[in-house]
Each structure stands twice: as structure tokens, then as C-alpha cells.
Amino acid sequence: MKRKLCLLSFSIFILSAFVQNGYSQDISTAFKQGLAYYKDGNYKSAIEQYNKVLLSDPKDENTLYNRGLAYFKLANYESAIKDYTDAIKINPKYEDAYFNRGLAYYYQESYSTAIADFNTALILNPGDAQAIYNCGLCYRKKGDYETAIADYNKAIRINPQYTDAYYSRGLANYYKGEYQTAIADYTLAIKLDPNYTDAFYNRGLAYYKLNDNNHAIEDYTASLKINPDNSDAYYNRGLVYYHQQNYDLAMNDYNASLKIKSQQADVYVSIGLCYRKLEKYDLAIADFTKAISIDPKYAIAYNNRGSVYWIQKKKDLCIADWKKAADLGDATSKKYLKDYYNIDY
């Protein structure tokens, strides 16, 4: 059972804190207060202050822009885009507005539109490594890994210390199945930032793909030392222990994952598989049943519970589970019904 990669999203937001000449004292104070609220993370209050400024001057591009930033922080992407767009109408060369509008489109999964905005920002500032990098993120989301890698390469040429670009290039190479190349990129990111927990974690995934279990365990462990709350790192380290037949260690990690995030059907299935290997069949059934209670359409859980019932010679229960798994699209269960009970289903 494959777990997700730790993906990287945008992390830098540009704030233009301009105080306009000619403002009344009240309006200037409102603008400054809006900036202060934004800095403190009180985005709704920031918007209220920016609204006061815009009542006086609806075409103040910088206040529109800053209100857009606050809306973005509240995940109100439509309002953010409207404010950035209005700022751009007033100032067609407003690079930061194009850049941040691109971010908002990215989070709306409008990747092509986001790329267009980042490219406009690049026309205004051709040396903006982050805009190039963000284009790469969009192309990766579109599944165009080659173009994404080309953009990451451009960003790295501009800024050889661009840690996130190495990391994201590693992700793109991982998705291409180029696991050794991905490992090399994650390693470069780790050299630049020894506390880059996601780079350790994802490098562990790449090592696992190459059946290099010892290095995978080392990286998952390193990731957990930096971030002990990564439930996926526990889970994936547990998978490696399982394949090494260290079932007790595997279950320790699976249970650690559940302490962080309890409703994980696949983790309960994995614990059930360990109990099955240890011939503790009733415990295995209990965990497969727990997985089904979390996800009633989890075919693998029905398949595995049915297999334990088969071991226990509980024919009716076995057939019922395998039929349910087959109904959910599990071809293996359909084959089992034919092979073990001569049932065409």
C-alpha cells in the first residue's frame, strides 16, 4: 500500500507595505493598522482596515493588493483574485500582483492560468527565480514533469542555493520513476538544509522503491527526529519492517501512526496483515473489520478478512467477504472464489 509523498506548495508571499502620500491621518492610520493586523495573522481585521482606505480611494492599487493578500490567507481565492486583478487594471506593470494572482489560481487548480500570470511576472522581472520555480510546480501538477524539471533547472541556475527547487525536482523525478535521480536531488536539498524533514521522508520513499530498505529506514527515522508528528513516516517505516518480517517493529510503527491520525483504514489493514503472519487470526479479523468500519468500500480489507476466514475454514463468511470485495472491483477475490469454491462471480 503506497502512501502519499510530502508535496511542496508555495511558501513565500510578497507584501508591499506602501503608505501613500496625501492620505488623511485617519486613512494612513487605517492602512498601517491593516498591515499590523496582517502581520499578526488577524486577516479579517486587516481586511476591515483596508476597506476603510478603499472607501476613500477605491483605486488605491497597493491597498487592493494588500487586501488580496489577506483574502488569500483566508483561502478566499476568488476575492483575492478580484483584488489583484483590480490592482493590475490600475497598474499593468504590478509584478507582485501578477505573481500572487498566480498563487491564487494555483490553489484553485487553474494551473494554466497560474502559469500565464507567473510568466507575465517574469516579463516584468526576468530574473525572478521563484516565479520560474512556481511555473515548475504548476507543470508538475499538470503531469508535465519534463517541463517542470526544466523550470526547476532554470531557477537553480539563477539561485544555486534554492533548496525547494532541488526538492521539487526530486519529486518530479520520483513521479517519472527516476528514483536514483530523485535521491540525488533530495540529497542536495538536505545538504542545504539538514532539517528538511520532507526531503528525508521522500528520499526514504525513493530508497524503498529501489528495495534499499536499510537506507529507507534511516531516512524515515531522520524525518521523524525532525518532525515526530509525521504519521506517514511511521507508516512507511512500518511497511519496510513488514517486508523484513519484523512484524513487531512494523506494528509499533503502525500504532504510532494511528496515535497521530486515528482514522486510517490502510494502517489497520497493515496491522491485520502482521497478525495474520503471526497466526493471530482473531486479532487480524478485528483489524480488518476496523478498516471496513472506517471505509466500507475498502475492497482490500474485505479480501484479507475473507482470506483469514478461509484459513479458519469459515466458508460462508469467507465467501461473503470475497463477493463483497469482488463487487468493489477486486479481481483477486473473484479468482479466489473460482479457485477455492468453484464459484463464478
CATH number at residue 336: 1.25.40.10
Q: Give the pLDDT confidence score for residue 24 in this predicted structure.
A: 59
255 and 276 fall within a common domain: no
The per-residue pLDDT for range 249-259, each reduced to its tens digit, is: 999 999 999 99
296 and 343 fall within a common domain: yes
177 and 214 fall within a common domain: yes
257 and 279 fall within a common domain: no
Distance CA 117, CA 51 (A): 26
Distance CA 252, CA 60 (A): 58
Total count of domains within the chain: 2
∠ CA 127-107-191, rounded to 5°: 55
Of the candidates 262, 288, 323, which is a domain's last residue?
262
* Stretch (H or E) spanning 84: helix 77-90
165 and 255 fall within a common domain: yes
Three cell numbers at 166? 532541488
- Please check whether residue 26 lies inside any domain of the structure: no
Q: Give the pLDDT confidence score for residue 87 in this predicted structure.
A: 96
- Please check whether residue 48 lies inside any domain of the structure: no
Three cell numbers at 77? 481565492
Range of the domain at 302: 269-345
Q: Give the pLDDT confidence score for residue 23 in this predicted structure.
A: 53
- Positions in the chain short of pLDDT 70: 1-25
320 and 274 fall within a common domain: yes
Half-sphere exposure of 310 (CA within 13 A, CB side): 16
- Please check whether residue 50 lies inside any domain of the structure: no
Q: Give the pLDDT confidence score for residue 18 in this predicted structure.
A: 41
- Please check whether residue 308 lies inside any domain of the structure: yes
Q: Give the pLDDT confidence score for residue 182 in this predicted structure.
A: 98
Q: Give the pLDDT confidence score for residue 25 in this predicted structure.
A: 64
182 and 202 fall within a common domain: yes
Is the Cα dihedral 295, 299, 303, 309 positive or negative? positive
Q: Give the pLDDT confidence score for residue 21 in this predicted structure.
A: 41
Of the candidates 262, 287, 302, which is a domain's last residue?
262
Q: Give the pLDDT confidence score for residue 7 in this predicted structure.
A: 45
141 and 248 fall within a common domain: yes
User: What does the mean pLDDT of the chain come to?
Assistant: 93
Of the candidates 237, 262, 287, which is a domain's last residue?
262
Three cell numbers at 40? 499578526
250 and 286 fall within a common domain: no
Three cell numbers at 204? 526514504
Residue 166 CA: distances (Å) to CA of 79, 175, 190, 217: 33, 14, 9, 22
